Each structure stands twice: as structure tokens, then as C-alpha cells.
């Protein structure tokens, strides 16, 4: 018996030695140590052994198996080293090549504008607030003096949801950042001096409109904040934003239900193929007394101005970009130009 076990060990060693690669070695392993291998069938044969000899039989098989296991791991290591050596000698590594390095991304042009705007308004005492993109129709329209059925609602064709909020108010994707005026003013006391940048949505798509775009809302409410403060604050904001004191800006009379009087603010392109053309960048005006009332304030005591500007528009003017859709196409050739 021991003699034949020694023989098996020798055979296994020979098989392992002759294996040319790891696959060959694993095949040899299966032959000796596998489920239907030599050792498995030896162990199965234990039932033919006399009862008093079984213990000795079993333990000598196990110790032989251990030896084969050990031989196997030695040859595994040998083959691994051999394979590594082969790779090292066949594959050349040029240690003088420069490293591949990490490709560093950059901040998206819209986010750059966003950050600049926050910084500028913070420096003149405005707080920056954030709010939900999913709004109630009350905050988005009704509180802003556009009740259900008001024609001004159709100026902002929007995405309504099949959902209502817990107070049974219709939900929609906000069409502008103006509902932030309502949210903030109903929970904070004047003086109110905030901006609120964020995403907005409308059913709109062409070279100056996108179904998702960004706005920044501004609101300053106190006892004596007038339209001339709006002109002063907004003009100096633009001068800072564009790093230019010589901008072509105009306040054009307009209509918004939530302001009276209202103005649209236009600015002229000074670079790019749109040079000389006006681009509307913001709506603005003196906050309507009805809206002040919806803030929970008395319009006899409080007044102020508001504006809502397009971040895409401001960014287009800053870099002389003539198609707003460039911002959303993820074309690196475009993005790399603005770092
Ligand atoms: N929310 C308006 C829009 O998206 C823009 C606007 C106009 C905002 C006048 C204001 C404002 O705060 O006072 O078209």
C-alpha cells in the first residue's frame, strides 16, 4: 500500500514537473486531486478495507495527499515565476516615457457664471438661497399675481405633473426662479435681500431657448427700495460680471404680472458673430403690491425690486457664444475653449 502511494506521489511530481504552463498544471492537479481523481477513488475504496485497518489506510492516503498538495503549490509558484520572466523579457517597458498623467476637467461655463454671480452679490450684502425645482402652481403663478386662467401663464408653457402636493396644490417644474421670492418672503422678515440661482424648465427650444435652463432671481424688499436702486445694483453687477465699465445696456419697458413698472434688461454683444445685436438677459421691476401682500407684508410699509436673469444668456454674452444649445452638447472642443 505505502509503496503504491509513494509511486503515486512520484507520478504526480513528474506530471507537475512536466506541465508547461498553468493550464497544464491545473489539468494534472485534476487528475490526482480532483473530484474523480486518483485520491478520491482511493478513498472510495476504503469500504473494501478491513475494519481494523481503515484508520491506518485513511491516514496514509491523507498524508500522501498532503505531500502532493505541497508539490502542487511549489510547481504553481515555479510556473508563475516562469510566466512573469517571460513577460518581462518579451514586453519592453520604456521607463523614460513621460507618464500619462490625469486629465483634469474644468468647471462648466454655466457653473462658472453661477459662482461668479454668487460672489458678486454676496459682496454687496445679498444672501444666496436655494429651493426646489418641483413647485406648486400657487408659488409659481398664483402668488405672483397670475391666477388660474391669467393669460400671462401661457407666456411660460410648462411641464405639469400628474401629482399634487399635500395641500392639494398642482405640482409643476418651475418655469422661473421667481417662486423663490414667495418661499423666502413668507418665512423671513424684511429687510429681504437675496438672490436664488437654479434650474428652470419650459416647453421651449431654439438657439436662445432650452427646455432646461438656469436663472438667478434677485429680490430686495425694505421700506424704501426703489426702481433707481434696481438700476444701480443691476448695472454695477453687470460691470463686475463682465469686468467692463463700458457696457451697452438698456432697460426696456415691459410687462410682468408680478412687477409694476416692469422692464426687460438687454445687453449688446461686443464679440462673436452676434456683435452689435441686443440680447435680453433679464426681466425686472418694482414688486407689485399684490405680490407684497402674498409675501404676508403690507405694501403700504414695504416695497422693493426683483429681477430674474438667464445664466445662459449672461454666459453667451461673456464669451461671445451665439447658440445656447452648445452648453448642453458636451462637445469637449467647445468646453475646452472656456476654461
Ligand atoms: N420670472 C420672469 C421670467 O422668467 C423674469 C422676471 C421678471 C423675474 C421680472 C423677476 C421680475 O423677478 O421682477 O420671465
Within a domain: 227 = yes
Going by pLDDT thresholds of 50, 70 and 90, the confidence category of residue 101 is confident
In a domain, 100, yes or no: no
- Report the candidate in 100, 106, 102 with the shortest Cα–Cα distance to residue 332: 106
* Closest residue to atom 3 of ligand 1, CA basis: 176
Task: DSSP for 216-281, please give it.
Answer: EEEEEEESS--HHHHHHHHHHHHHHHHT-S---EEEEEEEETTEEEEEEEEEE--SSTTTT-EEEE
Decide if pLDDT at 77 tops 70. yes
pLDDT tens-digit map of 279-312:
899 999 999 999 999 999 999 999 999 999 999 9
Binding residues for Mg(2+): 260
The atom number, within ligand 1, closest to the CA of 217 reads 12
Strand-pair partners of 251: 265
Q: Read off the pLDDT of each residue in 44-65 and give the average, rounded to a whole number.
A: 91
Note whether residue 104 is domain-resident: no
* pLDDT of amino acid 147: 85
Contact between 140 and 130 under an 8 Å Cβ cutoff? The reply is no
Task: Answer yes or no: do 254 and 170 share one domain.
Answer: yes
The mean pLDDT of 57-86, rounded to a whole number, is: 92
CA–CA gap between residue 170 and residue 163 (Å, rounded): 7
Ligand 1 in contact with 283 (CB < 6 A)?
yes
The verdict on residue 213 lying in a domain is yes
| pLDDT tens per residue across span 177-189 | 999 999 999 999 9
Does the structure show a pLDDT above 70 at 276?
yes
> So what's the pLDDT on residue 1?
58
Handedness of CA 276, 281, 283, 284 (dihedral sign): negative
Mean pLDDT, the chain, integer: 92
Angle between helix 227-242 and 109-123 (nearest 10): 130
Give yes or no: residues 85 and 209 share one domain: no
In this structure, the answer to whether residues 121 and 229 fall within a common structural domain is yes
CATH number of the domain that residue 312 is part of: 3.30.930.10
Asked if the model's pLDDT at residue 12 lies above 90, the reply is yes
Is the pLDDT at 207 greater than 80, yes or no? no
Distance from residue 25's CA to the centre of ligand 1 (Å): 76
Does 286 sit in the ligand 1 pocket, CB within 6 Å? Answer: no
| Residue 158 pLDDT level (bands cut at 50, 70, 90) | confident
Residue pair 144/178 in contact (Cβ under 8 Å)? The answer is yes
Kindly tell me if the per-residue pLDDT of 2 is higher than 70: no
At 246, is the pLDDT very low, low, confident or very high (cuts 50, 70, 90)?
confident
Q: Using 50, 70 and 90 to split pLDDT, how confident is the model at 212?
A: very high
State the distance from the centre of ligand 1 to the C-alpha of 256, rounded, in angstroms: 7
Same-domain status, 129 and 86: no
Phi, psi of 74 (to 5 degrees): -60, -45
Q: What is the rounded CA–CA span in Å between residue 245 and residue 312?
A: 21
214: Cβ contacts below 8 Å, ≥ 6 apart: 110, 114, 197, 198, 199, 200, 310, 311, 312
Alpha-helix runs per DSSP H in the chain: 2-18, 22-33, 38-44, 54-90, 109-123, 137-140, 179-185, 227-242, 289-294, 311-319, 332-335
Q: Is the pLDDT of residue 156 over 80?
A: no
Examine residue 99 and state whether it is found in any structural domain, yes or no.
no
Q: What is the pLDDT of residue 3?
A: 59
> CA separation (Å) from 36 to 41, 165, 234?
7, 67, 85
Q: Counting atoms of ligand 1 from 1, which one is nearest the CA of 200?
A: 4
The number of folded domains in the chain is: 2
160 and 290 share one domain: yes
Q: What is the pLDDT of residue 322?
A: 84
Mean of the pLDDT values across residues 125-145?
Answer: 96
Tallying the residues shown for the chain, one arrives at: 339
DSSP secondary-structure letter at 296? T
Which residue segment(s) compose the domain that 46 sits in? 2-90
Q: Is residue 59 part of a domain?
A: yes
Amino acid at each position: 500500500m505505502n509503496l503504491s502511494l509513494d509511486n503515486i506521489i512520484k507520478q504526480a511530481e513528474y506530471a507537475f514537473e512536466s506541465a508547461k504552463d498553468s493550464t497544464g498544471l491545473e489539468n494534472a492537479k485534476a487528475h490526482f486531486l480532483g473530484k474523480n481523481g486518483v485520491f478520491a477513488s482511493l478513498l472510495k475504496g476504503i469500504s473494501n478495507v478491513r475494519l481494523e485497518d481503515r484508520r491506518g489506510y485513511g491516514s496514509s492516503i491523507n498524508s500522501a495527499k498532503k505531500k502532493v498538495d505541497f508539490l502542487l503549490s511549489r510547481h504553481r509558484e515555479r510556473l508563475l515565476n516562469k510566466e512573469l520572466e517571460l513577460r518581462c523579457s518579451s514586453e519592453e517597458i520604456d521607463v523614460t516615457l513621460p507618464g500619462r498623467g490625469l486629465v483634469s476637467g474644468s468647471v462648466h461655463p454655466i457653473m462658472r457664471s453661477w459662482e461668479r454671480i454668487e460672489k458678486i452679490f454676496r459682496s454687496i450684502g445679498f444672501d444666496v438661497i436655494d429651493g426646489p425645482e418641483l413647485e406648486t402652481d400657487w408659488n409659481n403663478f398664483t402668488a405672483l399675481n397670475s391666477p388660474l386662467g391669467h393669460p400671462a401663464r401661457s407666456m411660460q408653457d410648462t411641464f405639469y405633473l400628474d401629482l399634487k402636493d399635500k395641500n392639494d396644490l398642482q405640482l409643476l417644474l418651475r418655469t422661473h426662479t421667481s417662486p423663490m421670492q414667495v418661499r423666502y418672503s413668507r418665512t423671513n422678515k424684511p429687510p429681504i435681500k437675496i438672490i436664488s440661482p437654479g434650474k428652470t424648465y419650459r416647453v421651449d427650444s431654439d438657439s436662445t431657448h432650452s427646455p432646461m435652463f438656469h436663472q438667478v432671481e434677485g429680490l430686495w424688499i425694505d421700506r424704501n427700495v426703489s426702481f433707481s436702486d434696481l438700476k444701480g445694483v443691476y448695472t454695477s453687477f453687470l460691470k463686475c460680471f463682465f469686468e467692463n465699465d463700458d457696457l451697452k445696456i438698456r432697460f426696456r419697458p415691459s410687462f410682468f404680472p408680478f412687477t409694476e413698472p416692469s422692464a426687460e434688461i438687454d445687453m449688446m454683444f461686443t464679440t462673436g458673430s452676434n456683435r452689435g445685436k441686443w440680447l435680453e438677459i433679464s426681466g425686472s421691476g418694482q414688486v407689485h403690491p399684490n405680490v407684497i401682500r402674498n409675501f404676508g407684508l403690507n405694501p403700504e410699509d414695504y416695497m422693493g425690486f426683483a429681477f430674474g436673469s438667464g445664466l445662459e444668456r449672461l454666459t453667451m454674452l461673456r464669451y461671445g457664444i451665439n447658440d445656447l444649445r452648445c452648453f448642453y452638447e458636451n462637445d469637449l472642443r467647445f468646453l475646452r475653449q472656456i476654461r
